[in-house]
Structure 1
């Protein structure tokens, strides 16, 4: 779950160093995700934005294994995305959003994906972003992940999720109030 002890959204020096070391190791081990990107440039951006570094730490703490997956030329920013093989463990068993959570009369989950993402300072992946992530590896072969759902679908009570089965990426629908031990959500942040 989200780090409730650190309400100030700030990491200690030791936490920052540990996180940067973890991110650098992951960056070096997965160069196919960010060809042509230099770690020194990424680190400079990370060190300059403590709020976003805190968010990336939350991604890490909930099992997302964030890594650089691209560069947004319009924002002059690196894109970090959850790259864990399966949907992040610390973000599973959640329904889609607050309205879905409030609509449940019994057996409510502890949280919802939209509120968790907002509290972490990240965005839930869109379907297109999910497909782009799947070009970098095989993700969610045993789990599934909620994705940003268009308003017209959400107004009718539904929500979208994705996974990878049979070497194919699928987009499905479910009632937004549903939740499963194998469904979480993936997020991204630009820095």
Structure 2
């Protein structure tokens, strides 16, 4: 067993308590879903528990936002009010990081998501999230960028301003203290 991607039993218990409390506090995010069913899936998929813990550890406040009928899996998104603090000041991907001549950030959004075992939100997923509340009122979040844009050196990000969700572009090698990324995982 690879212990790197598994939580100790006590850490699992603490994470499950945190996730359950958030689940119960935000029932509007997951109508018709019972915590007992979610918890059962989590206990079967301990590597996913590790990824959820990474989301929590970096400030993402993961919560259940739906159920995928085709796969039979619960969908978790980062639901922190602002882009997760532990995932900011990152350029978009490795190619962008390598292109920077100086002042390189510590990592990239795509690399960090892969290391955590999660996916960055797509534009559609980001908009779904915004239907559940008001997120990124002061920050912004990188989202999955289409290959056609990335090929030209750009990347896209979203935020919410003036009660409207905006999608913007920037050079993929740019990074800002107020821009991170939001992730998702299916369990």
Same fold (TM over 0.5): yes
Deviation at 1:8, TM superposition (A): 1.7
Where does the alignment leave 5 or more consecutive residues of structure 2 unmatched? none
CA RMSD in angstroms comes to: 0.9
User: Which secondary structure state, in structure 1, belongs to the residue aligned with residue 51 of structure 2?
Assistant: helix
For normalisation by structure 2, the TM-score amounts to: 0.98
Which string of whole-angstrom CA distances, capped at 9 and with x for unpartnered residues, describes residues 37-74 of structure 1?
A: 00000000000001111000000000000000000011
Where does the alignment leave 5 or more consecutive residues of structure 1 unmatched? 1-5
Distance 1:160 1:43 in 2: 34
Within-5 A mapping of 1:91-110: 91-110=87-106
Runs of 4+ in structure 1 over 4 Å off: none
Within-5 A mapping of 1:118-137: 118-137=114-133
Deviation at 1:7, TM superposition (A): 6.0
Within-5 A mapping of 1:9-48: 9-48=5-44
Aligned residue in 1 for 2:79: 83
Distance 1:127 1:136 in 2: 15
Aligned residue in 2 for 1:3: none
Deviation at 1:117, TM superposition (A): 0.2
User: Which secondary structure state, in structure 2, belongs to the residue aligned with residue 171 of structure 1?
Assistant: strand
> Quick one: which of 150, 157, 168 aligns to 1:154?
150
User: Which secondary structure state, in structure 1, belongs to the residue aligned with residue 156 of structure 2?
Assistant: strand
